[in-house]
Chains A and B, each alone.
Chain A
């Protein structure tokens, strides 16, 4: 029997009668009341996600920035204290090992927040690149801390968080919320404004209660998956993985080939030089049918790719998805077909950001 890992909020999810599921080896709520209702809450009000499954790794020491620059696709040394940025860590062949957020908490203190999957392998991989004389400490605090994402247009209207309205997008600060000490970042995975909050376990539990009292609705991973897809954000393991490179995924903007040597740089230089043969595109279904991860994409009767993410978008009231297709059918307006359980259904390439806040 597979034993799933539990976050400190696990009992509360059960108390709320959440439908629980396995996400990257963690037992997490798929939904509490209704995926559509929770989705609507985040788009129109304020929702809260337990994202304590995400890996939280502190990297400290006066060479921490230099070390991280050697394993990430962006220059970590240039990141300002109090800021976060999206970054990638790639294998030597340029395949994406993970996408992550890197926070510079202090001059010599960085925090990496990455996906829950393959946590141990990624930690080992990180440590593998550490040279003994570097005096850099890598500390995984995933199990000693909690992480909550509160997202939606009403989050910043909350009286409790009014001090945090000044925090810029991708800013991070150590602060107190009603006396509760936490790291707060203006980041998220929903396409809405909001915060991601990291705290020790007792504090995290208190914060959850505080936000509930302020009318923030607990939301599950089902809603989160639609929200991120609508916002054109990728899910590691589906849209990107070690068999995909940043350029074909449209993540070339996260690769800084100017900075000093980093793992995968020479392979990525070569990929950029040679050009890519396929591209991750967004599509909208023109015929009746919902595309789902793994469904074949066909063009002129031939299978040319696979859907990586797909589903119903309540915001657009349309069926949307992402998938890799050859370059020649990747431009916006191009049609192809998706095989929905033996039945080819017409789809059209559209921009990957299906939903953009404020239009």
Chain B
């Protein structure tokens, strides 16, 4: 797991390419820590199509339901059964065992619209500041 290779959305999802055009998708550490204990995942079946920034699935913490948006367009290859069975994996290891789906990407160029690690760190810092000012 080399997090510098991950790309990030403004909605706190990540994607990491595993091969030419297949990427793993998950939630960031920031996302899971703000949701709190995750107790339910609703993820699409393999074969389902998603659009970039379209709804991929839902994640529920004890208190709230959130949509998971897809970092890229493509076809679902697999959803993480271990995380469906034990949603707490997303809290414990959001960048590793707590991944959500594997996606076959339609268009690699879409990833250029995402943030790299250092951009995301800066973005996250701004998120923290604005939430403290609330």
Contacts and interface: CB of A to CB of B under 8 A. Distances in A.
A34 B42 CA distance: 22
A37 B39 CA distance: 13
B63 A35 contact: yes
Interface string B19-57: 000000000000000001101101000000000000000
Contacts of B39: 36, 290, 312
A312 B58 contact: no
Given A35-B36, A341-B58, A292 B65 contact: yes
A306 to B, nearest CB: 17
A165 interface: no
A222 interface: yes
Contacts of A312: 39-40, 60, 62
- Size bracket of the B interface: 10 to 19
A222 B63 contact: yes
A31 B36 contact: yes
Indicate the member of A31, A289, A312, A341 with the most B CB atoms within 10 Å: A312
A19 interface: yes
A15 to B, nearest CB: 15
A27 B117 CA distance: 35
A341 B65 contact: yes
A226 B63 CA distance: 10
A174 interface: no
Contacts of B88: 36
Given A35-B36, A35-B37, A288-B42, A311 B62 contact: yes
Nearest to B88: A36
Interface string A336-353: 000001000000000000
Interface in A263-296: 288-290, 292
A282 B26 CA distance: 34
A29 to B, nearest CB: 12
Contact of A36 (B37, B58, B60): B37
Contacts of B36: 19, 30-31, 34-35, 222
Contacts of B61: 35
Nearest to B37: A36
A5 B37 CA distance: 27
Interface string A302-316: 000000000110000
Interface string A14-54: 00000100000000001100111100000000000000000
Contact of A30 (B58, B60, B63): B63
Contacts of B60: 290, 312
Contacts of B42: 288-289
A35 B58 contact: no
Nearest to A343: B42
Interface string B98-133: 000000000000000000000000000000000000
A35 B62 contact: yes
Contact of A226 (B40, B62, B65): B62
A16 to B, nearest CB: 15
Contacts of A30: 36, 63
B65 A34 contact: no
Contacts of A37: 37
A35 B60 CA distance: 13
A306 B78 CA distance: 35
Contacts of A290: 39-40, 60, 65
Contacts of B62: 35-36, 222, 226, 311-312
28 contacts: A19-B36, A30-B36, A30-B63, A34-B36, A34-B37, A35-B36, A35-B37, A35-B61, A35-B62, A35-B63, A36-B37, A36-B39, A36-B62, A37-B37, A222-B36, A222-B62, A222-B63, A226-B62, A288-B40, A289-B42, A290-B65, A292-B65, A312-B40, A312-B60, A312-B62, A319-B40, A341-B58, A341-B65
Listed from nearest, the 4 A-B pairs whose CB atoms lie closest are A312-B39, A36-B37, A35-B62, A290-B40
Given A35-B37, A290-B40, A341-B65, 4 more contacts: A222-B63, A288-B42, A312-B40, A312-B62
